[in-house]
């Protein structure tokens, strides 16, 4: 049994407007940064950390280094499919969030965890890989791309989880989007994460049945706690 090293506050936002969730992340991140400053000043402040899970109404988000041309529809068309569009400050290109997709936002101090950015992303991918493994979905990484993929060595390579993070003063925000019961037709309006030649999938599509989101959250939290050595 690996030793628990950190404690994070677990927050389940349910279905949350994207802008509201983004603002909330920024607020929590600033609190962590302030705690770090005070800790360096007197060494007595416990630096907080958070794990937020939620779902969003239909929304497309474009990372700061992304190509706006990867949104394949006019912004005026978004209204007809009940979707919104944001240019945001995470890494990565364009992706979609919507109902039936498990979105996670860890807000942690990488210095406290003694993690570099690449190692952090690697561990986050590992949490998803192990969570999918609980359902006999064999997932892995794709060289040169973030996220979690299926059948990477075949023409059927497809993405099941996108990852895009922002690091500010070594504190993380944004995170991952795991397709659970996601309506995949919304991905047809973008080049997901900038790729034009790779598909997307969901747990529901792979297993042929609707998944219990509450159960998926429980499995994810268990793997996250084990891999990051935290209690929630």
| Rounded distance between C-alpha atoms, residue 144 and residue 138, angstroms | 19
Is residue 28 domain-resident? yes
From the list 227, 178, 163, 191, the residue with the least C-alpha distance to 55 is 178
How does DSSP classify residue 70? G
User: What is the predicted pLDDT for the residue at 196?
Assistant: 56
Average pLDDT over residues 107-116: 95
Cβ atoms of 69 and 30 closer than 8 Å: no
Neighbouring C-beta atoms of residue 44, cutoff 10 Å: 7
Long-range contacts of 182-188 (CB under 8 A, 24+ apart): 182/98, 182/99, 182/100, 182/101, 183/98, 183/99, 183/100, 186/58, 186/81, 186/83, 186/96, 186/98, 187/96, 188/72
Is residue 1 domain-resident? no
CATH code for the domain in which residue 224 is found: 3.30.930.10
Is residue 185 domain-resident? yes
Q: Provide the number of structural domains found in the chain.
A: 1
**Lowest-confidence region among 97-101, 142-146, 180-184:** 142-146
| pLDDT > 90? residue 198 | no
Is residue 62 domain-resident? yes
Domain range enclosing 76: 6-231
pLDDT in tens, 7-31: 999 999 999 999 999 999 999 999 9
- Per DSSP, the three-state class of 176 is strand
Asked about 193 being catalytic, the answer comes back as: yes
pTM above 0.75, yes or no: yes
Average pLDDT over residues 159-175: 94
User: What is the predicted pLDDT for the residue at 222?
Assistant: 98
Is residue 220 domain-resident? yes
Query: How would residue 2 be classed by pLDDT, with cut points 50, 70 and 90?
Result: low
Catalytic residue from among 108, 163, 193, 200? 193
Is residue 60 domain-resident? yes
């Amino acid at each position: 049994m690996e030793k628990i090293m950190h404690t994070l506050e677990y927050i389940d936002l349910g279905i949350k407007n994207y802008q509201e969730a983004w603002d909330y992340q920024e607020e929590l991140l600033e609190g962590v940064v302030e705690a770090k400053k005070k800790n360096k000043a007197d060494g007595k402040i416990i630096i907080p950390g958070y794990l937020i899970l939620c779902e969003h109404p239909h929304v497309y988000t474009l990372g700061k280094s992304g190509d706006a041309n990867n949104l394949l529809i006019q912004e005026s068309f978004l209204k007809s499919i009940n979707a919104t569009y944001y240019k945001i400050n995470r890494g990565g290109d364009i992706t979609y969030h919507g109902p039936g997709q498990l979105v996670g936002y860890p807000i942690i101090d990488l210095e406290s965890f003694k993690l570099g950015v690449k190692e952090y992303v690697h561990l986050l991918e590992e949490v998803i890989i192990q969570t999918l493994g609980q359902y006999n979905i064999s997932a892995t990484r794709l060289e040169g791309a973030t996220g979690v993929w299926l059948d990477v060595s075949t023409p059927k390579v497809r993405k099941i989880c996108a990852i895009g993070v922002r690091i500010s003063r070594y504190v993380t925000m944004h995170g991952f989007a795991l397709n659970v019961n996601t309506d995949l037709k919304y991905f047809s309006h973008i080049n997901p994460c900038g790729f034009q030649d790779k598909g997307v999938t969901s747990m529901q599509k792979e297993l042929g049945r609707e998944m219990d989101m509450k159960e998926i959250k429980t499995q994810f939290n268990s793997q996250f706690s084990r891999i990051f050595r935290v209690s929630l």
